[in-house]
């Protein structure tokens, strides 16, 4: 009898112990499942404007990274100088002013201008007499009345003076003095330098009263029409760049906005020192209001394109060497339940991240992933 009782007690004890062990294991499993879930209330979901996304095919471009600047064609930038030296008598301009082609830029004063005008008028007055004498001697020579020597001298005097007058006329026009109405009553010691193109004063290098020589720059005019990108591509990427390729660029110092351009011209030569190739790209005219000549740009040139499975970039959170997304497990009347899933990233664009998964019906949290994953950690 005692053995039976003891045996019964032992069996009961073993059964009880095994039952408790199974219950403990069940509790651990349940807790583990809950710990792997991230629960978001529907109120929290709506308040934080969270959304759900599915995997979808998106185009991804292989890009070449480069830098450069906003520029204008060479004919749209002019450095103005005086064709003859002199003192700056006046200038009505300030840096940044807009001027039309032909507008007065500066007035230069120099006594030598007076001497040139006097010489021009004197030589011009001789032309009528010398021309008449030349024609007379030519007639006499043809009729063999006068010697050929007289004819040749008259011809030389006339043509030499004519050349002098033409030269003086060009010189005066070059320094901004019109000869059309020049006479002894309007000789001036000043000349006017006019704008060769329309544009803004982008550099002003003189002040009233300063002296400038013929080689000194006075100011610079920049016409901002037809802005373009001037980029530098490293030699290793040069053969990938073709006319017509799309460019996405930013102005890092000014804005985070993305702008578009298109490759228009690739230089056929390589800079021997930098080992780079120059790329000229066109910008849409409607965007030019946002730029200034000389701005630094950071650009990406799309050299090829393929479609990959992707999620919005805000659906993926990087932690160290790993990336994660929050996949929707289920939802009820009160909550959404997510699991943190490791993700293998293939490529990235500004808005999407390509991942190594086939298209399926799973849904992923799009906004708020960062804070939920970090809190879960």
CA dihedral 309, 314, 315, 318 (to 10 degrees): 100
Q: Which candidate, 370, 330, 343, places its Cα nearest to that of 39? A: 330
Q: Which candidate, 8, 240, 185, 223, places its Cα nearest to that of 99? A: 223
DSSP 307-319: EEEEEEGGGEEEE
Which CATH number is correct for 62-74+224-305, 2.40.30.170, 2.60.34.10, 2.60.40.790, 3.30.70.260?
Answer: 2.40.30.170
CA dist list (Å): 368 to 323, 336, 339, 376: 15, 13, 14, 13
Non-local (6+) Cβ contacts of 162 within 8 A are: 127, 130, 131
Which residue's structure tokens are 């030598």? 112
Domain extents in the chain: 62-74+224-305, 77-222
Query: What tokens were used for 238?
Result: 């040069």
**10 Å Cβ neighbour count for 202?**
20
> Does residue 203 contact residue 219 with C-beta atoms inside 8 Å?
yes
What per-residue confidence (pLDDT) applies to 376? 62
Task: Compute the distance between CA of residue 127 and CA of residue 136 in angstroms, rounded to an integer.
Answer: 14
Average pLDDT over the chain, rounded to an integer: 85
Question: pLDDT per residue over 149-175, tens digit each?
Answer: 888 888 898 999 999 999 999 999 888
CA dist list (Å): 86 to 82, 110, 211, 214, 218: 8, 5, 6, 8, 11
Q: pLDDT truncated to tens, each residue of the chain (377 aa)?
A: 333 334 433 333 333 334 444 433 332 333 334 446 889 999 999 998 999 999 999 988 788 999 999 999 889 999 999 888 899 999 888 999 999 999 999 999 999 999 999 999 999 989 888 988 888 888 888 777 767 788 888 889 899 999 999 999 999 988 888 888 888 888 999 999 999 999 999 999 988 999 999 889 999 999 988 899 999 999 999 999 999 999 999 999 888 889 999 999 999 999 989 999 999 999 988 888 888 899 999 999 988 878 899 999 999 988 888 899 999 999 999 999 999 999 999 888 878 999 998 888 899 999 888 878 776 65
What per-residue confidence (pLDDT) applies to 175? 87
Q: Which candidate, 362, 322, 327, 360, places its Cα nearest to that of 341? A: 327
Beta bridge partners of 106: 193
Query: If you ran DSSP here, which 8-state letter would residue 137 be given?
Result: H
* Fold exhibited by the domain 77-222: OB fold (Dihydrolipoamide Acetyltransferase, E2P) (2.40.50)
3-state SS assignment for residue 264: strand
What per-residue confidence (pLDDT) applies to 224? 87
């Amino acid at each position: 009898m005692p053995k039976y009782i003891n045996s019964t007690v032992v069996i009961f004890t073993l059964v009880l112990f095994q039952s408790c062990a199974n219950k403990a294991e069940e509790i651990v499993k349940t807790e583990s499942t809950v710990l792997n879930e991230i629960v978001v209330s529907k109120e929290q979901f709506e308040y934080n404007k969270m959304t759900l996304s599915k995997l979808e095919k998106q185009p991804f471009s292989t890009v070449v990274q480069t830098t450069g600047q906003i520029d204008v064609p060479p004919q749209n930038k002019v450095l103005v100088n005086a064709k003859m030296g002199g003192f700056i008598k006046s200038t009505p301009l300030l840096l940044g002013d807009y001027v039309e082609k032909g507008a007065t830029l500066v007035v230069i004063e120099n006594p030598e201008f007076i001497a040139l005008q006097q010489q021009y008028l004197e030589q011009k007055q001789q032309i009528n007499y010398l021309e008449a004498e030349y024609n007379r001697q030519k007639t006499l020579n043809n009729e063999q009345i006068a010697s050929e020597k007289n004819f040749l001298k008259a011809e030389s005097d006339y043509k030499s003076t004519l050349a002098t007058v033409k030269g003086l006329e060009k010189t005066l026009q070059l320094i901004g003095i019109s000869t059309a109405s020049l006479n002894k009553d309007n000789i001036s010691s000043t000349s006017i330098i006019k704008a060769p193109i329309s544009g803004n004063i982008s550099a002003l290098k003189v002040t009233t009263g300063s002296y400038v020589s013929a080689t000194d720059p006075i100011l610079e005019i920049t016409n901002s029409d037809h802005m373009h990108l001037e980029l530098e591509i490293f030699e290793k990427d040069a053969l990938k760049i073709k006319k017509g390729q799309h460019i996405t660029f930013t102005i890092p110092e000014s804005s985070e906005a993305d702008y578009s351009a298109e490759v228009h011209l690739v230089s056929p030569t390589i800079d021997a020192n930098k080992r780079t190739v120059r790329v000229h790209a066109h910008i849409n005219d409607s965007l030019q209001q946002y730029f200034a000549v000389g701005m630094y740009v950071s650009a990406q040139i799309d050299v090829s394109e393929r479609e990959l499975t992707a999620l919005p970039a805000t659906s993926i959170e990087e932690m160290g060497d790993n990336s994660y997304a929050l996949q929707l497990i289920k939802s009820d009347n009160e909550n959404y339940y997510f699991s943190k899933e490791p993700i293998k990233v293939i490529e990235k664009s500004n808005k999407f991240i390509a991942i190594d998964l086939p298209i399926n019906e799973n849904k992923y949290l799009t906004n708020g992933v960062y804070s939920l994953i970090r809190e879960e950690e």
